[in-house]
């Protein structure tokens, strides 16, 4: 889904814009080749090609769908594949999921999903409190006839020492032993993704390009985030021990977005994006505006950095509910009183100093003498977003960099765009039906509405 807000601000010529509108979803546990069910064993499997005469609704998921057919000699049809899940690569968040879409017509009972070992048996997951062996329990899920049904099975991670590679077995049970056919599609597996696996492909992590210099900051695995529009500068969601540190699963912060980006605690930054000269010596003698939407909950009242360059401690900090701008030895703060409300935050770089602007109002400023760190022996022009483990919540919306000082009027207009406030007074005669108002439930008169004496008394008993 696109971003209506980013569509608008893109026309104001940013030199960098990351809307996250494509979504940062879960890390896949499957190799792309294993998503092809024709490579699985068991009943006969063929790629399904829909025909109008089949009267089967279009496949609602991502990827291909497959037709599984055969005789239910033991009251079920089965497909399985071993060696496709490696628990040693799990992010150790407690569980993992296997999901797909299923479709059937005619007599049918339920789907059964369970991990299997190399011999096709259900593997041991560990031991209980009495040191008795424990095994995976098949997940039984009912399906609706003549409709694509989402199937998601959740399993606990195996205990240390029981993390051998295993596979997945899927069965469709029937009340008889006749020949049957059912459809399956969008096979996926991942962690911490909820139902996203049914509509989005899981992401593959990779090493950042050597030219990026990110390896000098202990960032060894990332997921790419495309720049909005036609830009070629990629931002990255950071992966820490197979855990994706940013996910598009927060409540939307700006009008027209489907979600915001939820950051995960780590000692590494959750997201890094090209700084375009912000907080960097390459930005000397340039006017720049770094802009982002954010929402933070800090019930522990800690002091921590939330945004800044990877090569120094400059940037934006929080202390309780205050936003703190740090540039070298200079510090300026602003008590927002409430960081949880969505805020449009800008850091403006001009020759006379660096200013902090919140929702269109300049709230703090520090002097600047062009002494930001240079690029050392590698490319250090990266800005990171940091989620401290003691923060309750840190979510962001679109991030942008502009090659000019954004005016207060433009910023306030963007704030209105982002919050979805509709104009309620244009100077023309207007009437308001308060019971069906979308945003406002009151109007100031005569500031926002022209008074017409000719209508006085109409509709009044």
Q: Which segments of 95-165 are extended strands (E)?
A: 95-104, 110-116, 124-127, 133-135, 139-141, 149-156
pLDDT at 251 over 90: no
Domain with CATH 2.60.120.200 in the chain: 4-24+204-418
In the numeric block, the tokens 């780590």 are attached to: 266
357 touches 411 (CB < 8 A) = yes
Per residue in 347-377, pLDDT (tens digit) is 999 988 999 999 999 999 998 866 676 554 4
pLDDT digits (tens, 9 = 90+) for 94-149: 999 999 999 988 788 899 999 999 999 999 999 999 999 999 999 999 988 888 99
Provide the pLDDT for residue 230: 72
DSSP 3-state assignment of 281? helix
Q: Is the pLDDT of residue 427 over 50?
A: no
Q: What is the pLDDT of residues 12-71, one digit of tens each?
A: 999 999 998 788 889 999 999 999 999 999 999 999 987 656 778 889 988 899 999 999
Token pair 């009340």 in the structure block, residue? 175
Question: Using an 8 Å Cβ cutoff, are 179 and 71 in contact?
Answer: yes
What tokens were used for 84? 């496709």
Annotate 154-173 with b (16+ C-beta within 10 A) or e (fewer).
ebebbeeebbeebbbbbbbb
Q: 169 in helix, strand or coil?
A: strand
> What number is the average pLDDT over the span 331-338?
92
Q: How large is the average pLDDT for residues 84-95?
A: 93
Residue 424 pLDDT > 70:
no
pLDDT at 379: 58
Q: Which residue has the higher pLDDT, 383 or 257?
A: 383
Q: Which CATH class is domain 32-198?
A: mainly beta
395-410 pLDDT, tens per residue?
Answer: 999 999 999 999 999 9
Task: For the sheet with 139-141, list strands across it.
Answer: 41-42, 76-85, 166-173, 110-116, 139-141
**What three-state secondary structure class fits 411?**
helix
What confidence category does residue 446 fall into, taking pLDDT thresholds of 50, 70 and 90?
very low
In 374-400, which positions are buried (b, 16+ CB within 10 angstroms) versus exposed (e)? eeeeebbbbbbbbbbeebeebbbbbbb
Does the structure show a pLDDT above 80 at 388?
yes
Q: Is the pLDDT of residue 448 over 70?
A: no
- 49 CB contacts (<8 Å, ≥6 apart)? none
Non-local CB neighbours of 104 within 8 Å, separated by 6+ positions: 143, 145, 146, 172, 180, 181, 182, 183
Distance CA 451, CA 226 (A): 50
Q: Report the pLDDT value the prediction gives residue 419, as an integer from 0 to 100.
A: 84
pLDDT score recorded for residue 240 = 95
CATH number of 4-24+204-418: 2.60.120.200
Structure token digits, residue 225? 């985030």
The tens digit of pLDDT for each residue in 194-239 reads: 778 888 888 999 999 988 989 989 999 999 999 988 778 999 999 9
What's the pTM? 0.83
């Amino acid at each position: 889904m696109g971003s209506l807000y980013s569509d608008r601000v893109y026309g104001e010529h940013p030199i960098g814009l990351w809307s996250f509108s494509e979504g940062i979803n879960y890390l896949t546990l499957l190799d792309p080749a294993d998503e092809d069910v024709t490579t699985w064993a068991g009943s006969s499997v063929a790629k399904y090609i829909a025909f109008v005469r089949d009267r089967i609704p279009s496949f609602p998921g991502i990827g291909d769908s497959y037709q599984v057919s055969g005789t239910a000699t033991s009251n079920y049809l089965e497909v399985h594949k071993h060696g496709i899940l490696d628990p040693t690569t799990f992010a150790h968040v407690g569980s993992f999921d296997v999901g797909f879409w299923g479709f059937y017509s005619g007599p049918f009972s339920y789907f059964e999903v369970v991990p299997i070992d190399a011999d096709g048996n259900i593997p041991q997951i560990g031991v209980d409190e009495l040191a008795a062996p424990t095994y995976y329990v098949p997940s039984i899920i009912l399906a609706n006839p003549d409709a694509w049904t989402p199937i998601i099975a959740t399993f606990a991670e195996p205990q240390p020492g029981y993390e051998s590679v295993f596979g997945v077995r899927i069965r469709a049970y029937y009340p008889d032993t006749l020949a049957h056919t059912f459809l399956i599609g969008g096979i996926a597996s991942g962690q911490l993704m909820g139902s996203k696996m049914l509509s989005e492909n899981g992401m593959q992590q990779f090493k950042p390009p050597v030219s990026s210099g990110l390896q000098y900051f202990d960032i060894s695995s990332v997921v790419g985030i495309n720049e909005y529009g036609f830009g070629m500068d990629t931002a990255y969601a950071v992966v820490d021990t197979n855990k994706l540190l940013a996910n598009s699963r927060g409540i939307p912060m700006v009008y027209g977005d489907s979600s915001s980006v939820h950051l995960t605690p780590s000692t590494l930054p959750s997201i890094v994006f090209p700084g375009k000269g912000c907080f960097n010596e390459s930005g000397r003698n340039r006017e720049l505006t770094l802009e982002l939407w954010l929402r933070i909950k800090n019930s522990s009242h800690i002091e921590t950095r939330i945004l800044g360059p990877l090569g120094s401690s400059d940037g934006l900090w929080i202390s309780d509910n205050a936003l703190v701008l740090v540039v070298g030895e200079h510090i300026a703060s602003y008590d927002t009183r409430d960081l949880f409300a969505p805020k449009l935050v800008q850091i403006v770089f001009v020759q006379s100093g660096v200013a902090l602007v919140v929702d269109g109002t300049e709230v703090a400023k520090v002097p600047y003498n062009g002494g930001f760190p240079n690029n050392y022996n590698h490319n250090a022009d990266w800005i990171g977003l940091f989620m401290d483990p003691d923060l309750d919540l840190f979510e962001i919306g679109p991030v942008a960099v502009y090659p000019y000082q954004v005016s207060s009027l433009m910023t306030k207009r963007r704030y209105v765009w982002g919050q979805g406030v509709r104009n309620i007074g244009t100077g023309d005669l207007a009437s308001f039906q308060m019971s069906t108002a979308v945003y406002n439930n009151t109007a100031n008169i005569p500031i926002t509405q022209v008074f017409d004496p000719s209508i006085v008394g109409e509709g009044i008993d």
